[in-house]
Chain A
Amino acid sequence: MQLYLPIAEVSVNAIALVGIGGIVGFLSGLFGVGGGFLITPLLFFIGIPPAVAVATGSNQVVASSISGVLAQLKRKAVDFRMGAVLLGGGLIGSSVGIWVFRKLSAAGQVDLFVQLSYVLFLGVVGLMMLQESLRALARSRKPGAPIRRAHVHTWVHGMPLKMKFRTSGLYISVIPPLVIGAFIGFLSAVMGVGGGFIMVPAMIYLLGMPTKVVIGTSLFQIIFTTAFTTVMHAVSSQTVDLMLALLLILGGVVGAQFGARVGVKLRAEQLRILLALLVLAVCARVAFDLVMTPEEFYSITAGRLP
């Protein structure tokens, strides 16, 4: 069934869009990532203009994150206080990101910047997660191995402005979560992603939060960052396509519910290995496009230029 999208101004297959939403939603519920890092490249692939893909992708992430967070809420796996601190940083980063996005669009380098960010962040995060989770898995198979301490004190714990995060069982400074939040807000605006794939490992490895709480808290924070980004894009460049969003959301929310339920059945290490592999696969795909000689060297941007 072909459907003409009013803002993207292209005709696409509606079933394909629901399918994309569903797959991304499933992964989103499973891993606690918004799924933006998957949906934006997929939308590029089916011919949605990049600006519309980034803005509409973030709207879809709002829906799947809400769906996912509600599922996590029942397991009491959301640290609202930590979420709020991350969010504070996120809104600042997001505002800066939207500004940078506009500058880059005008310079014609937004695609490059987005692609390089994908390769860099997905690559680094993916490798780190894979290495760590493989080690954790190996450790759990050897019962005789020494158990690591639950709370390792690092430089993060030496900072001022300490705060108690009861759900996470942490007593740390608010500065690291604020900085992480700001950084992810920035990426969210520029890359059309929620930032979960960076947020999740940052929470685990930098803040030392328990994996159980991480997914819910990450999703909770992502809802607000991407909501803010969506509205900003709608106002500043009118690139949110509601028709497109609706189809992606339809698939996404259902997929997220399935994902969250499957996630409960898997072990944390296995979950992290799978996420790491997924992240690396997307990274490789994007890197491939950058290096391969394109078939067409020229590209056309029509209409009102940003």
Chain B
Amino acid sequence: MIRAVALFLMLALGLPAVAEEKIVAGLSQSSVSITADYAGSEILVYGAVKRETPIPEGAPLRVIITVEGPDQPVLVRRKDRVYGIWINNDKLEAGMVPSFYAVATSAPLKDALSPEADLRYGITLPPALRTEDRDSQPFLDALLRIRTQDGRYATYENTIALTEQTLFRTDIVLPAALTEGNYTVRVFLTRDGAVVDEMKRTLWVRKAGLERFLYEAAHQYALLYGLAALLIAAVAGWGASAIFARLRW
């Protein structure tokens, strides 16, 4: 009987205590407008850990934040030397992959996240870009490599400032070559590599102003847009000629 009560108490108090660490988080902005002068931006992700009980003993709390851009179909091609010149010889349709993916952590990734939790929650990118097919793997590796060089895929270890296991904040850099769409920001709390709590926020990335107008026009009124492009060319060509003729030079 006493054992049963103890077990009950343990279940009632002990286990939920872990789950009782909740994330309260926000973004510095809920949307990013791509305007003509857009040259990359920074998103501040900040928050706190809400808990009713004292900070649990044992493994320290870690925070992992991911920012994922909209998925796009991607085609990876490989060049080979054929008759002395380099041509696109082989390709792989990698299917839908994120146009942007950043992971930030408050501790080295291998301490903050166990491989099992990574697989279950899909936190880092490499497991998603792994295939059984040995012929396809080099293409996916190349995708990861090139996009990492472009700044589209990034891992920032130890960049989240975590104070007193409670307050956290970090800046995520969005590149200048940004794809439009909904960006998902996920915040994970982990202890001992296991995920304690998870939260999602959406960041809207939209072309705005002139950019929006031109993009819409090009897609919805393609013919008119093409003719407008010609008109601009004609007016500019004629205008320059007329102005220079005035100058009599």
**A residues whose Cβ falls under 8 Å from a Cβ of B:** 1-4, 6-7, 9-11, 59-60, 62-68, 70-71, 74, 108-109, 111-112, 227, 230-235, 238, 240-243, 245-246, 249-250, 252-254, 256-257, 261, 290-294, 296-305
Contacts and interface: CB of A to CB of B under 8 A. Distances in A.
Contacts of A296: 142, 146
B148 to A, nearest CB: 12
B75 A230 contact: no
B75 A301 contact: yes
B214 A67 contact: no
Nearest to A11: B176
Interface in B120-154: 138-139, 142-143, 145-147
28 contacts: A2-B37, A2-B39, A9-B178, A59-B230, A62-B237, A63-B236, A64-B237, A65-B237, A67-B238, A71-B241, A108-B91, A112-B85, A231-B226, A231-B227, A233-B226, A234-B218, A235-B222, A240-B226, A241-B214, A243-B214, A245-B233, A290-B85, A294-B79, A298-B139, A301-B74, A302-B74, A302-B75, A302-B179
A265 B222 CA distance: 43
B40 A11 contact: yes
Contacts of B244: 71, 257
Given A4-B34, A246-B232, A299 B79 contact: yes
B141 to A, nearest CB: 9
A84 to B, nearest CB: 18
Contacts of B81: 293
Contacts of B180: 9
A80 B238 CA distance: 18
A209 B142 CA distance: 53
B11 interface: no
Contacts of A3: 36-37
Given A66-B241, A245-B229, A299 B176 contact: no
A298 B144 CA distance: 11
A297 B222 CA distance: 35
Nearest to B73: A305
Interface residues of B, number: 65
B230 A62 contact: yes
| 5 smallest beta-carbon distances between A and B, as pairs | A66-B237, A234-B226, A298-B142, A253-B240, A11-B176
B226 A70 contact: no
A238 B229 CA distance: 12
B161 interface: no
Nearest to B178: A9
A242 B38 contact: no
Contacts of A234: 218, 222-223, 225-226, 229
Nearest to A296: B146
Contacts of B230: 59, 62, 227, 230-231
Contacts of B211: 4, 6, 243
Nearest to A65: B237
B36 A240 contact: no
A67 B240 contact: yes
A298 B229 contact: no
Contacts of A109: 87-88
Nearest to B207: A6
Contacts of B176: 2, 4, 10-11
Contacts of B91: 108
A1 B75 CA distance: 32
A264 B40 CA distance: 46
A70 B235 CA distance: 12
Contacts of B86: 290-294
B233 A66 contact: yes
Contacts of B228: 242
Q: Which of A11, A243, A254 has the most CB of B within 10 A?
A: A11
A242 B244 CA distance: 24
A68 to B, nearest CB: 8
B97 to A, nearest CB: 8
Contacts of A292: 86
Contacts of B240: 67, 253-254, 256-257
Nearest to B222: A235
A235 B218 contact: no
